[in-house]
Amino acid sequence: MFIHNTPMPSDALKANILETTTAYTGFFELRRLTVVHDLFNGGTAGPLVREVLHRSDVAAALLYDPATDKVVLVEQYRAGAHVAAAAPWLIDIVAGRIEAGQTPLDTITREIFEESGLVPTSIQQIGTYLTAPHMSSEIVHLFCYGGCRKSCWTSWRGARGRGYSSSRIGPHRCT
């Protein structure tokens, strides 16, 4: 879900957090909220209790090799997939948590190097979106790096890179 700045019909509706408590703190925080919000039909819902996973924002990048028309993805272990009884090793784009004092650009520059060995020279921001707004406050700042070359399709620090034809992934291309 991309974050937008366009006026929407829902902009006139109100939503209020009445109370916030922290139910758990670890790799993420689990926050318990008591909320009330307007309904589209004119009524009000609440108070309702909702739980939200809260953690720092993330920077992510599509690594694109224009010479071969391939997008480089990394294969990494993911605990959530493991618990969901799916394959615990997922193919994903390069991404990492934004640490205190860092910008999204600082973070993705670091992550591209850590996960692919590349030192990116030209990065373009694509957009910003919420990963799972029904249960998480995590915001992803998405970038494209179009200077990737076949040399980055190798193993690096626990991740394995692979080149995938952009036609297998979808019609959108980074340049």
Binding residues: 95, 111, 115
Token output for 118: 């590349």
* Cα angle for residues 169, 170, 174 (degrees, 5° grid): 95
Q: Between the CA of residue 74 and those of 10, 91, 112, 145, what are the distances in Å? A: 38, 6, 11, 14
Q: Report which of 68, 73, 111 is spatially closest to residue 89, judged by C-alpha positions.
A: 73
Token output for 79: 């605990």
User: DSSP character for 85?
Assistant: T
Q: Between the CA of residue 96 and those of 122, 139, 174, what are the distances in Å? A: 18, 12, 20
Burial of 108 (0-12, 13-18, 19+ CB in 10 A): buried
Binding residues for Mg(2+): 95, 111, 115
